[in-house]
Amino acid sequence: MGDLVHHKAHAWLEGGIVNGKPTPSITSWIENLNNVSKDYSPSVQVYGGRGQTVALKEAIPAEIAYLKKADKIVSDFIKKLGAKSAELSTDKAQTHYAALTKEFEKAFPDYALSYMIQYGVYGLAQSKIK
Phi, psi values for residue 27, rounded to 5°:
-60, -45
Classify residue 2: in a domain, yes or no.
no
Instruction: Give residue 32's domain range.
Output: 16-127
Classify residue 119: in a domain, yes or no.
yes
Classify residue 20: in a domain, yes or no.
yes
Classify residue 3: in a domain, yes or no.
no
Q: What is the pLDDT of residues 39-98, one digit of tens each?
A: 999 999 998 778 899 999 999 999 999 999 999 999 999 999 999 999 999 999 999 999
**Tally of domains within the chain:** 1
Distance CA 5, CA 105 (A): 18
Classify residue 9: in a domain, yes or no.
no
What's the whole-model pTM score? Answer: 0.93
